[in-house]
Amino acid sequence: MTQPYLIALDLDGTLLTDEKKIPRKTKEILFKLIDLGHHVCISTGRPYRSSNMYYEELELKTPIVNFNGAFVHHPHDAEFGIHHSPLELDVAKRIITACETFKVKNIMVEVLDDVYLKRPDEVIVNTFIMNENPLQIGDLHKTLKEDPTAILVHPEDHHIAELRAMLEKEHAEVVDQRVWAAPWNIIEVIRSGISKATGLKKIAEYYNIPQERIIAFGDEDNDFEMIEYAGHGVAMGNAIDELKERANYVTLTNQEEGIAHYLKNVLKLV
């Protein structure tokens, strides 16, 4: 075979169809590549609890990037280490206070797989924490006692731009932010300098894979750094325009199995 590649897969809007399924042809191509000795990994903004089902479905034995790089670990190899880069607690509480001044709909704070909510929210419970009960609901200044992995803010739609501008102006040195696209328009806040690229770099070093043999697929603004870092930065056909501009290549959409289309052509699979 050719020298091994590292293939990094975003989940939502990329590997997964709009029905949150891994399509058949894509799965077959990925299994074939793994059998040939290539390394396939997941790189997602999701926490591990809501990505491990796809990890298991693909029968992966590689590290995984969660929380957009704020948590990177190897479920099958403790020697890889646990790389957790949370926000400092006092910084997190300053961010929470700033967001509360905008009277946001809700704030969710995650400490790895533990979830804290400012107020009860059936939509968040059903959509973001897989119908599990939050650890605690209430005043986050009182309930939150550990450095959090990520803060998810659900603002009123007309406050999104203003809130993001405030975070950029007053807190850019300590946090980075991303927006989850419609219909949610969630602002995610993580520690500054952390991205999917920083997580993917750890995995590349683990396997000794150079950048030119890294293929990364994505569709949203939380994929910017990863797409620019990879030797093959591939935007899905349904990706936002800003990502397509940064990518080396634009493939078909997630509904059209764009990952399978690109890998089959580039890695010359029969």
- Round to whole Å and give the CA distance between 190 and 211: 25
| CA end-to-end span of the chain | 13
The question of whether 10 is a catalytic residue gets the answer yes
Six-digit token string for 115: 């979830």
Going by their DSSP bridges, the two strands 6-9 and 214-218 should be labelled as parallel
Q: Would residue 4 be called left, alpha or beta, if left means φ above 0 and alpha means ψ between -120 and 50 degrees? A: beta
Q: Which of the residues 10, 121, 176, 223 is marked catalytic?
A: 10
The partner residues of 230 in beta bridges, in order of sequence, read none
Q: 93: burial class by Cβ within 10 Å (0-12, 13-18, 19+)?
A: middle
Are the CB atoms for 94 and 71 separated by under 8 Å?
no
Active site residues: 10
